[in-house]
Amino acid sequence: MRQESEIRFLQFAGRRVAYAVSGDGPALVAPAWWVSHLEVDWRDPAFRGFWESVGDGYTFVRYDRLGVGLSDREVHDEDLTLEGDVALLGAVLDELALDNVALVGGSSGGCAAIAFAARFPERVDRLLLYGAYADGSSITSAAVREAIVGTVRSHWGLGSRLLADMFLGDASSVEQERLARYQREAASPDTAAVLLELVYSNDVRSDLDQVRAPTLVVHRRGDRAIPYQLGRELAAGIPTATLIPLDGNAHFPWAGDSSSVARALRSVLASEAPARQAGEHPAVLLSDREREVLALVASGLSDQEIAGQLVLSRHTVHRHVANIRNKLGRSTRTAAVAEAARLGLL
């Protein structure tokens, strides 16, 4: 189902971070990858189709890290740390009043997801990792790392094409050139280079055995950017992890056989969506706050008006309304109110 993606901004470390929200239901949050651009990403049919498939039935949240995409382009040294990535992920969850979420960490975003899940286990219900790793220094040799970063910094045109070849596997030259242009639009050469250095310096090995959430690790055997062996080691280090190896050599999950990646991720996500047990009255599925919001929706108030009455943010009210519609199995506010009235909840 085609979904619109709302782009919003939050204040973090004195600058603006762009984040996007699409869909309805429980929260599925994707920590930021190396570089991204929320607006351009969503215009890409392959990217959008993949995430709409994976996130069906969920509120899908993604964001541009500082320095790239629609976020402020100014980057500070403190942004270039794993701790900075974890803090930014926490700020996004706090902005949306999300207490408990499923995290889907792809590539370098997997490091932030793992560290956050280990340090804040009460906030992570499920952890999904794709093309991820625990030790950035083991991705490739020091000489290759230096060569890649140096090429990106000194000749962004050549560097972006080199990375496109690594990320897309057997894709056509037209697709690789499109990705190269996208990377140059998403970040400056200096920012791309320092963020690559962060990718290679990330190390979450000490966090692995602290992860308590059920974890799925999905990795393509021929991944050219993050070797399959690193995904296997990642799964072996997390006590709750299950590994699903897939064929293919593209690093981006929406490239190549994207449907197999989507099916693997959905194999654990589908069971997470709220389901009513036989004979269970829907009232028990609504929290006290949700029933309070439902009554105000039924009275005809907008999200902004409800926020003012309950002293909540508009985004928080939006999330409550989305949860109510999901739990009642209705796609609109009007239909949800009608269903609630039919069930005697109003």
pLDDT of residue 1: 43
pLDDT of residue 282: 46
27 and 69 assigned to the same domain = yes
109 and 30 assigned to the same domain = yes
Nearest to 339 by CA among 146, 331, 43, 82: 331
Residues 6+ apart with CB under 8 A from 74: 15, 66, 67
Total domains in the chain come to 2
Domain hosting 16: range is: 6-138+203-272
Q: How far is CA 335 from CA 23, 124, 160, 191, 343, in A?
A: 17, 31, 48, 47, 12
Q: Which of 214, 245, 272 is the last residue of a domain?
A: 272
CB 38, CB 70: distance < 8 Å: yes
What pTM did the predictor assign? 0.78
36 and 105 assigned to the same domain = yes
pLDDT of residue 334: 83
CA 345 from chain center: how many Å?
A: 34
Q: What is the 3-state secondary structure (H, E, C) of the chain?
A: CCCCCEEEEEEECCEEEEEEEECCCCEEEECCCCCCCHHHHHHCHHHHHHHHHHCCCCEEEEECCCCCCCCCCCCCHHHCCHHHHHHHHHHHHHHCCCCCEEEEEECCHHHHHHHHHHHCHHHEEEEEEECCCCEHHHCCCHHHHHHHHHHHHHCHHHHHHHHHHHHHCCCCHHHHHHHHHHHHHHCCHHHHHHHHHHHHHCECHHHHHHCCCCEEEEEECCCCCCCHHHHHHHHHHCCCEEEEEECCCCCCCCCCCHHHHHHHHHHHHHHHCCCCCCCCCHHHHCCHHHHHHHHHHHCCCCHHHHHHHHCCCHHHHHHHHHHHHHHHCCCCHHHHHHHHHHCCCC
288 and 335 assigned to the same domain = yes
Per the domain annotation, does 65 fall within a domain?
yes
pLDDT of residue 3: 61
* Mutual angle of helices 189-201 and 142-154, in 10-degree steps: 160
pLDDT of residue 128: 97
* Virtual torsion, Cα 37, 41, 42, 43, nearest 10 deg: 110
24 and 92 assigned to the same domain = yes
Q: Which of 223, 252, 272 is the last residue of a domain?
A: 272
266 and 208 assigned to the same domain = yes
What is the CATH number for 106? 3.40.50.1820
Per the domain annotation, does 160 fall within a domain?
no
Length of the chain as a residue count: 346
CB 133, CB 200: distance < 8 Å: no
133 and 256 assigned to the same domain = yes
What is the CATH number for 317? 1.10.10.10
Sheet holding 101-106, edge to edge: 6-12, 15-22, 59-63, 27-30, 101-106, 124-130, 215-220, 241-246
Q: Which of 247, 272, 297 is the last residue of a domain?
A: 272
41 and 100 assigned to the same domain = yes
pLDDT of residue 285: 61
21 and 41 assigned to the same domain = yes
Per the domain annotation, does 153 fall within a domain?
no
95 and 217 assigned to the same domain = yes
pLDDT of residue 293: 92
Amino acid at 28: L
CA distance 134 to 213: 17
CA 9 from chain center: how many Å?
A: 16
Taking the chain (346 residues) in runs of 10, the rounded mean pLDDT of each run is: 79 97 93 95 93 92 97 94 97 94 96 98 96 97 97 96 90 90 96 97 97 96 96 95 95 93 88 43 65 90 91 86 78 80 78
